[in-house]
A = this chain, B = another copy of it.
Amino acid sequence: MRKLASIVSVGMSKIGRFPELNGRELVVEAFLEAWDGCKNLDRKDIGAVFVGNQSETYEHQIMYGSLVTDWLGLLPKGSMRVEGCAAAGALALSSGVTAIVSGLHDIVLVCGIEKMSLRSTIEITDALMSASDLVLEQHNGMTFPSIYALMARAHMSKYGSNEDDLAAVAVKNHRNALDNPKAHIRKEISKVDVLKSKVIASPLKLYDCSPVSDGAAVAILCKTELASRFTDSPTFVVGMGNSSDTIGLYEREDISWPGAVAQACSNSYQMAGLAPGDISFAEVHDAFTINEILHYEAAGFAKRGAGQESIRSHQTDIGGKIPVNPSGGLKARGHPVGATGLCQIYEIHNQLNRRCGKRQISGAKYALAINEGGSNAIVTTHIISN
- On chain B, the residues within 8 Å of A383 by CB distance are none
Known: A63-B131, A134-B61. Is A70-B246 also a contact (CB below 8 A)? yes
- Cross-chain contact B56 with A243 (CB below 8 angstroms): no
Given A70-B247, A242-B48, A244-B77, decide whether A57 and B56 contact each other with a Cβ distance below 8 A.
Answer: yes
Size of chain A's interface in residues, with CB distance under 8 A? 66
Q: Are B85 and A82 in contact (CB under 8 A)?
A: no
CB-CB under 8 A for A84 and B70, given A76-B244, A77-B243, A378-B79: no
Interface residues of A in 187-241 (CB under 8 A from B): 240-241
Question: Does A256 touch B at the CB level, under 8 Å?
Answer: no
Point out which of A80, A99, A377 has the most chain B C-beta atoms below 10 A from its C-beta: A80
Partner of A78, one of B22, B54, B60, B244: B244
Best-surrounded residue of A67, A127, A131 (most CB of chain B within 10 A): A67
Answer whether residue A373 sits at the interface, using C-beta atoms and an 8 A cutoff: yes
Determine the main DSSP class of A at the interface with B.
Answer: mixed
Query: CA A278 – CA B251 in complex, angstroms?
Result: 51
Asked whether B75 lies within 8 Å of A62 as measured between CB atoms, the reply is: no
The residue in chain B whose Cβ has the minimal distance to the Cβ of A99 is: B98
Interface residues as binary, A88-110 with B (CB distance below 8 Å gives 1, 0 otherwise): 00010011001101111000000
Q: Is A135 an interface residue when CB atoms closer than 8 A count as contact?
A: yes
A215 to B: closest C-beta gap in Å: 18
Q: Are A75 and B246 in contact (CB under 8 A)?
A: yes
- Pick out which of these stretches binds chain B: A33-41, A259-267, A312-320: A259-267
Tell me if A260 and B80 are in contact (CB < 8 A): no
Also in contact, A243 and B78, with CB within 8 A (given A62-B131, A134-B59): yes
Say yes or no: B55 contacts A260, CB within 8 Å: no
Contact A130 B80 (CB under 8 A): no
Is A83 an interface residue, CB under 8 A from the partner? Answer: yes
Asked if B104 contacts A98 (CB within 8 A), the reply is: yes
User: Are B246 and A78 in contact, with the CB atoms below 8 A?
Assistant: no
Q: Please name all residues of chain B whose beta carbon is closer than 8 Å to the beta carbon of A380 when the two chains form the complex.
A: 78
CA distance A13 to B378 in the complex (A): 26
How many Å from the CB of A355 to the closest CB on chain B? 30
Which one, B95, B242, B244, B373, contacts A75 given CB within 8 A?
Answer: B244
Contact A56 B55 (CB under 8 A): yes
A331 interfacial by beta-carbon distance below 8 Å: no
Asked whether, in the complex, the Cβ of B76 is within 8 Å of the Cβ of A62, the reply is: no
Q: Complex Cα distance A70/B243, Å?
A: 11
Contact yes or no, B134 A22, CB < 8 A? yes
A interface residues, Cβ below 8 angstroms from B: 22, 48-49, 54-57, 59-63, 65-67, 69-70, 74-85, 87, 91, 94-95, 98-99, 101-104, 127, 129-131, 133-135, 138, 240-247, 251, 259-260, 263-264, 373-374, 377-380
